Structures are given as structure tokens and as C-alpha cells.
Amino acid sequence: MSTTAKTQGNQAKEQAGQAVDKLKDAASHAGEAVSSAASAAGQKAGEVASAIGQKASEVASSVGHKAEDATAAVGSGMQNLAGQVRESGPREGMLGTATRTVADSIEGTGKYLEDKNLSGMMDDVTGLIKRNPVPAVLLALGIGFLVGRVLTPSSRS
């Protein structure tokens, strides 16, 4: 082989090596760009998820406050109803006593609703269940059985 062919072969090898190095650099830069884009996309997804979570929390809080306000309004309405029952019902005798008892019960329930709201009522129910677990379970089973009977279509024709 001649010297010129060897020189040309060496030059070709050197050029091929340089081309491989350029390809490696380009691949490295492309990998960095992809990694950077993936990181930015992940960050944006995290921001969107955080914003959605915050909005959901705000909506839940708003609904909770509205439910508390509605419960207080129902309690106030019940107290007004108790006053109307007292005014319009008989005042003497057995019917008078019954009217006062009913009005007192309605008024007491209205005060309870107005004072406790939903969160207080849930605390009271939780306490009642903790103090009486067996009757609570039996009651739940009975209600479940009745609901099942009502919702299940009968096979009788």
C-alpha cells in the first residue's frame, strides 16, 4: 500500500472519529434537552395538581360552611315554629299540656341544631356509638336489612 493511501486512510479514520465525537456531543445535548423538558413538564404537572387540590379544598370548605349555616337556619326556624305552636294551641287542660310539651321539644331541638351545627351533631353521634357499640351495630344491621328489603325487587309475581 502506498503512503498516500495510508495517509488518506488515517485521515478518513480521524474524520470518522471526529464525526462520532460530534454525534456523541449532539446526543448528549439532546438528552439534556429531553431531561430539561421532562423536568419542566413534571414541575408544571405538580403545580397544576397543587392548584386543583387547593381549589377542591376551598370548595369543600365552602360547602361545609353553607351546610353549617343551613343547619343553624333550620334550628332557628324550628324555634320560631315552637313559638307559633304555643300561641295557636290550646293553653289549658290535657291538650294545653300536650301543646306545651310538643312546643318545648321542638324548641329544644331547634336550639340544639342552632348551637351544635353538623360538626357538633357528628361528635355527639360518635360519642353515642362509642358508649353503646353493640346497640349501634344492631341498629345499623336492622336499618341495612330494611333498606335491602325495600330496594331489592321481589321475586313474587
- pTM surpassing 0.75? no
What is residue 33's predicted lDDT score, i.e. its pLDDT?
75
Cα–Cα distance measured from residue 149 to residue 64, given in angstroms and rounded to the nearest whole number: 33
Which set of grid coordinates corresponds to residue 36?
A: 430539561
3-class DSSP assignment, residue 125: helix
**HSE (side-chain half, CA atoms, 13 Å) at 24:** 6
For the segment 108-152, what is each residue's pLDDT rounded down to a tens digit?
A: 988 988 888 888 888 998 999 999 999 999 999 999 999 999 998
**HSE (side-chain half, CA atoms, 13 Å) at 147:** 6
For the segment 1-13, what is each residue's pLDDT rounded down to a tens digit?
A: 567 767 766 777 7
What is residue 155's predicted lDDT score, i.e. its pLDDT?
58
What is residue 146's predicted lDDT score, i.e. its pLDDT?
94
Q: Does residue 157 surpass a pLDDT of 60? A: no
User: Distance of alpha carbon 95 from its chain centroid, rounded?
Assistant: 49
For the segment 51-80, what is each residue's pLDDT rounded down to a tens digit?
A: 888 888 788 778 878 888 888 888 888 889
